[in-house]
Amino acid sequence: MEEGLIPYVSVDCVIFGFDFEKLNVLLIERKVDIEGTVFRDMKLPGDLIRYDEDIDASASRVLFELTGMKNIYLEQFYTFGSVNRIKEKTRDIIWLHSIDHPEERVITIAYYSLVKIESREISEAKIVNNASWHAITEITELAFDHREIIDKALEALRNKLRTQPIGFELLPVKFTIGQLQKLYEVIFGTRLDKRNFRKRIASIPYIVSLNEKQKGVAHKPAQLYKFDKKKYSRSKTEDLYFSV
């Protein structure tokens, strides 16, 4: 084996949440002191992998430490490993020095995660960890290559949604067709025709209408639906496609 330096390995997590209006990502504020002036930007939650820890376990740990939640939907989607990925911007280099992070190379294994934004643990995350939700369309300055990581996560989420109905992880257990349509619209960044969408949904056997309507809404209460796991597992391949 070749002698020499070895890159460090980390995990980073893109945590998606849907608030019925926008697709959001949970980010951590980072403060960088540049010659006495504090510069603030955002970063993804992440950490170095421990030597005795499987990589999936490492991502779960990062999520748990941030949100207090276990068993969240988590999917590894890409590994980012260009040589200078954490050393391209001055503020990144200054920040790495300030936290005593050695200047070695870091390869990061990226995961995306889908959470129900209204859950108690998630809504408290902001207070506990200096983390907050940011609409994906409004994210500006990010640390390192984290913008690229989020873009790739969104691409991976879109590809996954085309063959698996994982969008339900982002919705409450009971949801309306309007909410489901809005979710697809914000993920794919496009408007969908209401009538065609309803027709397509009606043809999917694992989206089940409940004998129940919305409560406490100002507008006319809409029919509630749920995702039926059993019916989904029995579905034929052609029912799994959702082309947007």
By the rule CB under 8 A, 49 interacts with a second copy: yes
SS (H, E, C) 92-111: HHHHHHHCCCCCCCEEEEEE
Footprint on residues 129-158 left by a second copy (CB under 8 A): none
* φ/ψ of residue 239, rounded to 5: -80, -10
Among 83, 120, 218, 220, binds a second copy (CB under 8 A): 83
CA distance 34 to 208: 55
What is the chain's Cα-based Rg?
A: 20
- Residue 87's contacts (CB-CB under 8 Å, 6 or more residues apart) are 93, 96, 103
Q: Are 176 and 133 in contact (CB under 8 A)?
A: no
> Least CB distance from residue 126 to a second copy, whole Å?
27
Residue among 201, 193, 187, 153 at smallest CA distance from 18: 187
By the rule CB under 8 A, 185 interacts with a second copy: no
> Least CB distance from residue 178 to a second copy, whole Å?
23
Footprint on residues 6-35 left by a second copy (CB under 8 A): 6-9
By the rule CB under 8 A, 196 interacts with a second copy: no
By the rule CB under 8 A, 162 interacts with a second copy: yes
Count the Cβ atoms, other than its own, within 10 Å of residue 89. Answer: 16
Footprint on residues 225-244 left by a second copy (CB under 8 A): 237-238, 241, 243-244
User: Which of the stretches 21-29, 46-54, 174-182, 224-232 binds a second copy when contact is defined by CB under 8 A?
Assistant: 46-54
Among 35, 37, 71, 102, binds a second copy (CB under 8 A): 102
- Kindly list the residues in this chain that would bind a second copy in the complex (CB under 8 A): 1-2, 4-9, 48-56, 76, 78-79, 81-83, 100-102, 105, 107, 109, 159, 162-163, 237-238, 241, 243-244
